[in-house]
Chain A
Amino acid sequence: MSDEADAETSDALAERRGVETEVYQPAEDSHLLAEVVVERVDAGDTVLEVGTGSGYVASSVAAETGARVVGSDVNPHACRQARERGVEAVRADLTEPFRDGAFDAVVFNPPYLPEEPVAARDDWMETALTGGETGREVTEVFLDGVGRVLAPGGVVFLLASTLSGVDEVAEYAGECGFSTAAVRDESFPFETLTILALHPGE
């Protein structure tokens, strides 16, 4: 990424942070993820959205498919916003407090921006946006644990970005025993977003 692109990205983040400093608000990535998941979830499914933030994706999926959608977030402000939107909210660390085999689908738009130590802020928005030095740290911890909570035939929908590496995420998912397919790509000025569908291997 060029310095110019870097600066533009920071500006966009600053602007977003100006509007809302405690809970990540729906953006292009949220819309893309919601669109893909709505097409692939059925009314009888039980769905978990990890890191639900404002609850936008979870409430869209629930409203448009009739599925039961639970939203979890580590951020208490996000849990409250999601609940106000009608989402069943649980304060949680990724998939830790959910039962084995509980979900037909698990959805995650992870914090994926590589951390810039100089700009690091120890607040909830930082938690929502950055995934450690590589941008993939939270995604990798998620991939380590998500298989446990998937029902037989279950699927994970995971958003990845060229800003932190799509191939690297797919490769790590493979190491965790998932087969991976890219189900949607969309290009934006400074990144391409990909929604990966992950199925546990046999």
Chain B
Amino acid sequence: MFKKLLLLTLFIPILLPAQSVKYLQLDDIDGKPFIFSENLDHDATIIVFWATWCAPCKKEFPALQALKEQYENKSIQIIAISEDSPRSLSKVKMFARSHSYDFKYLVDPNQEVGNDLLVKSVPFTMLVNREGEAVYTKSGYREGDEAELNKALQNLWAE
């Protein structure tokens, strides 16, 4: 059985996988529904899964904001999806209101969307095109990782 598992591991990456967020729906921090398919009309959408207790997530936010400001002539939408459990959910709004990032904040308190997108740790960053297809994904954040995202943005716009 373990051999089959290894086979599965080797086979699938060779082919043409991708992820889509088009049919997702979540609530924003005010409890209003956010339907992705109605909100993808941007030059690029960056989605970051985060949590209030996650230090690398908070380090990534200024880098994402700087990236958005670097391309003022482009419409870049940044969606921050909180994976905080109900234990820290009340702190999400507090964080959003007390920081001036130009992000759309959504909540996924039971990690349902995170699970469907196979996000098992935060931060997790996705770059999504107008069709809702992920053209770049990155798990974790270290200082300097935004350079890879910047390259992916330029590749997206060069297509």
Chain B associates with chain A: no
Give residues in A with beta carbon < 8 Å to B: none
